[in-house]
Amino acid sequence: MADHTLYMSDCKIMELTGVASVNTFDEEQIILETRKGHLAIVGSNLHITSLNLEEGKVAIQGDIVNMEYKPEGASFKARGKSILTRLLK
């Protein structure tokens, strides 16, 4: 797999390399496993327009408002659980 690169144009088109898998996706969030850890892409009307995991390439279109990397082994869901746990105490 190639190095991880990310290209974004006008917060509407994103092309990535170095992607190992797509963990979850819907119109508001896409979580990818990359060579640099997990990447969450948040927005609206998100669509995966091209997917080639053999080459590690993904293309996304939509209104992208946020991106966040987490190290390998970290969970995006863990943060939400800890907030919920604190609220219920």
More confident residue, 81 or 14: 14
The chain-wide mean pLDDT, for the chain, equals 85
Mean pLDDT, residues 22-50: 93
Residue with more model confidence, 38 or 1: 38
Q: Residue for token digits 């746990």? A: 85
Percent of the chain clearing pLDDT 90 (strictly above): 69
Distance between CA atoms of residues 63 and 45, nearest Å: 6
- DSSP letter for each residue of 2-29: PPPEEEEETTTEEEEESEEEEEEE-SSE
Residue 2 scores a pLDDT above 70 = no
Q: Report residue 70's pLDDT band, with 50, 70 and 90 as the boundaries.
A: confident
Cβ atoms of 13 and 67 closer than 8 Å: no
What angle (nearest 5°) sits at the alpha carbon of residue 16, between those of residues 10 and 21?
135
